[in-house]
Chain A
Amino acid sequence: MSAEADAEPLLEVRGLTKIFGALTACDRVDLTIAQGEIHALLGENGAGKSTLVKMLFGSLEPHSGDIRWDGKPVRISSPSVAKKLGIGMVFQHFSLFEALSAAENIALSLADRTPIAAIAEKARSLSKAYGLPLDPNALVGDLSVGERQRIEIIRCLLQTPQLIILDEPTSVLTPQEADKLFETLERLRAEGKSILYISHRLDEVRRLCDRATIMRHGKVVGHCDPRRETPASLARMMVGSDVKAVERPAAPQESGEHLLGICGLSRKPAGPFSVPLRNIWLHVPAGQVVGIAGVAGNGQGEFFEAVSGEARQDAADVIRIRGKAAGLMGITERRMLGAAFVPEERLGHGAAPRMTLSENLLLTRHATDAKAFVGAGGLVKTASIDAATQRIVSEMDVRKSARDPEAASLSGGNLQKFIIGRELDRQPSVLVVNQPTWGVDAGAAARIRQALIELARGGSAVLVISQDLDELFEMSDAIAVMNNGELSKPIPIAEATRERIGLLMGGAEPGHAAPAALAGMEPA
């Protein structure tokens, strides 16, 4: 706190306002960031955090208000102006070319014409120094979300900014990786750099940040020293009321039939950098939530595609849904058996960004709800789809600016609530979710987790793939760990400890023994 008093603040924002149509996304926001501090920006989805940092980074122009940088008034009209001032940003949604390598993507953002090899070398040393393991020559298209984020962080660090804005940086890291990132950030702070840190993880905010500014509904509602607060008190300030803790009623006695069965699933790598799946066995009984932990890029995406039917198997009985062999079926037929799927990427995979919510409802339910949504001759019944959309929106408390907005216009958490709600609305007997609460704030995440638990307790089988261990411990009845395309035996939650799961995530223990005959057939 004393740093603020005796030094000129690095960044001072007064009365910053941004209006989108009828919505005031930022309403006279004040923010002061001192030299060498880690400043947390807290708030629920849609509180205006992203709008605020976009204005600081020059991607959006403020309606009114002043920004002072190093005591001098500045107008940040574009990201390149921001960069020249010394403001760097790591976005929550990445801006990378999938067809280029990591190093080439970094080169694109640099002003000079440094040779790629030199950039790769610099990136490699930065990645080592800051604990962000990355192969600069890997194609971005083949990298996981976690690895892509590392490119963004390294790209930002290469420009030696004075202020680094990080939007949800740890949401895809393992506890160990997050620890390393914190060391990086603390080192940067020691070097006198300032960091604006946006996160929903209140524990890490309390551990890392010197000060916090809390936003709600576009306004700053408070400042605090997060180290003197509890997670509950921080959450209360963000939400404006108490956040209900997730309740997990006791699981039914292990007698539920196996609604989802994965019996010896193997998959050859689809691209040069994708992970092969090796003889995965897993059964998810009715009434239970089974979690799959693992570091990003260990085959979770490939596994999800195989289970959902986006990638079919060679043999029918590798995947069983409600007892039926579904390995040869496509995703629509698997849905017709009662399964539902929520992928990791919201925009462009789980939802078509430029289409409205009602169209996105039709996206996954045109076959299962054909009676309700599609009439004679393939005519789409707009009225009943619209009614179902509004039902989901109110059920999941999706906040939006119009009656039926484009998916891309929703904040990440609100879109995720809609996507999960879209599947819950049909009461599926099997639900497979990849990263259910990535980048989602505390209030929305609790709601999503509670809804998934309730679905399971109602007699469905729920499989949750997540990199967030807290989440898995909160929800799961058993946790298996995916490492390098292999899946460990599920550990009942009563026997699971962080240490045990963490070791499995690091690959300390091999996957449970596969029948020798099958092991011999695995792809290299």
Chain B
Amino acid sequence: MRIELVKRPQQSTLFSVLSPLIALALTMVAGGILFAAMGKNPFEALYYYFVDPLRELWSLHELAIKAAPLILIAVGLSVCYQSNNWNIGAEGQFVIGGIAGSMLPVLFPEFQNGFVLPLMLLMGMAGGALYAAIPALLKTRFNTNEILTSLMLVYVAQLFLDWLVRGPWRNPQGNNFPETRRFHADAVLPELMPADGRANWGIVFAVVAAILVWVLAARTMKGFEVRVLGASPRAGRFAGFSAARMVFFAFMLSGALAGLAGISEVSGAIGQLRPSISPGYGFTAIIVAFLGRLNPLGIVAAGLVLALTYLGGEAAQISLGVSDKVARVFQGLLLFFVLGCDTLIHYRIRLVWPAKAVPAGEGA
């Protein structure tokens, strides 16, 4: 038996809209089965996972903290993916953004005034953008596959951070712990409503970025260029658009947003550099981008959903005693079902039995 995907002549508009919701529902069902197999009551488990974290104000603040980097990164990635540039290395750009922005409070702790934070944010964006320019350069100059190079640069960035905090940037008063000095007050991203919870300006950056990129993508010439070059490169060249410049634009925009997410996380939620500053935001944001259908506004919603999987993972660990790796499982399930549902909008499955197997004649 062979399974074939046959292209549908027409795509259902209804299911295009419903697809992310169906994927969510399927994730719940699969998650429930998973919990049941582990001997837990699936309904109770799903409650702790998806509902309990939403019941208290402080916990909603935590949700915003987790959602902010996911949304920021995913919004940038949506531009990359729309233009057919496969940046898988946002995690690395996030880390480099965090490092670049931390230079001021770590290396010049005496430089304390109102300019520090804005400078840090700008340096974080510049760091992320320049780091993302490496795979762009390799792609345009040497025709290298950007999926591989951007992914490999993630490990370079992570190990570079690890070396920094254990070596040259280690806190001299830190009892040999692998971390930098804590940021002074001027270098910390302020909290929005300190009375209720820890949420900081990161979520505001994320929503503003989503709105700006949405306008860029849907209403401007640049957004049009992104879509043309992504969907039909030859027509894009005929339109006079430069594919090489688009590679740099897409990579550096998404790198800058990932860098901004990195420095916001470091200066807001963490307050210093540590060997690890991200629970995989850069990779999870790929799921966010697709769950949000590469639409910046959809990404805001999708970012909140994925942030919930992080919180739910923690909650499930505490209430049910399951490993917090279950969060990764849920994220994986979600990506699987999103891509599966999207594929089934464009294709239908056909089973071909060997007895009457005749390969389809239509090639491309």
Residues of A in contact with B (beta carbons under 8 Å apart): 20, 59-60, 78-80, 83-84, 95-98, 105, 108-111, 308, 310, 330-332, 335, 341, 343, 345, 348-355, 359, 362-364, 366-367, 374, 377-380
For B358, the closest partner residue in chain A by CB is A80
Are B240 and A359 within 8 A (Cβ)? Answer: no
Q: With A96-B364, A343-B238, A352-B235 as known contacts, state yes or no: A366 contacts B358, CB within 8 Å.
A: no
Partner of B234, one of A60, A111, A341, A348: A348
Within 8 Å of chain A (Cβ to Cβ): is B194?
Answer: no
Q: Give A97 to B364 CA distance when docked, in angstroms.
A: 6
Q: With A108-B363, A350-B235, A351-B235 as known contacts, state yes or no: A60 contacts B9, CB within 8 Å.
A: yes
Within 8 Å of chain A (Cβ to Cβ): is B141?
Answer: no
Are B238 and A350 within 8 A (Cβ)? Answer: yes
Which residue, B231, B235, B359, B361, has most C-beta atoms of chain A within 10 A? B361
Are A379 and B238 within 8 A (Cβ)? Answer: no
Residues of B in contact with A (beta carbons under 8 Å apart): 6, 9-10, 219-222, 224, 227-228, 231-232, 234-240, 357-364
Can you pick out 8 interface pairs between chain A and chain B where the beta carbons lie within 8 Å of each other?
A: A83-B358, A96-B363, A96-B364, A109-B359, A111-B359, A345-B234, A352-B232, A359-B224
Q: A83-B358, A343-B238, A367-B240 are in contact. List 8 more A-B contacts (CB 8 A).
A: A80-B358, A95-B362, A308-B238, A345-B234, A349-B234, A351-B235, A352-B231, A380-B224
Are B232 and A366 within 8 A (Cβ)? Answer: no
- Residues of chain A within 8 A (CB-CB) of B235 are 348-352, 363
Are B363 and A366 within 8 A (Cβ)? Answer: no
Q: Give A394 to B359 CA distance when docked, in angstroms.
A: 44
- Residues of chain B within 8 A (CB-CB) of A379 are 219-221
Are B228 and A363 within 8 A (Cβ)? Answer: yes
- Residues of chain A within 8 A (CB-CB) of B359 are 80, 108-111
- Residues of chain A within 8 A (CB-CB) of B10 are 20
For B352, the closest partner residue in chain A by CB is A80
Partner of A335, one of B231, B234, B240: B240
Partner of B220, one of A79, A363, A380: A380
For A334, the closest partner residue in chain B by CB is B240
- Residues of chain A within 8 A (CB-CB) of B231 are 352-355
Q: With A349-B238, A355-B231 as known contacts, state yes or no: A366 contacts B360, CB within 8 Å.
A: no
Shortest Cβ distance from residue A326 to the other chain B in the assembled complex, whole angstroms = 13
- Residues of chain A within 8 A (CB-CB) of B9 are 59-60
Q: With A96-B363, A355-B231 as known contacts, state yes or no: A84 contacts B358, CB within 8 Å.
A: yes
Are B360 and A364 within 8 A (Cβ)? Answer: no
Are B363 and A95 within 8 A (Cβ)? Answer: yes
- Residues of chain B within 8 A (CB-CB) of A108 are 359, 363
For B227, the closest partner residue in chain A by CB is A355
Q: With A108-B363, A380-B224 as known contacts, state yes or no: A363 contacts B358, CB within 8 Å.
A: no
Are A80 and B360 within 8 A (Cβ)? Answer: yes
- Residues of chain B within 8 A (CB-CB) of A80 are 358-361
Q: Give A84 to B240 CA distance when docked, in angstroms.
A: 46
For A367, the closest partner residue in chain B by CB is B240
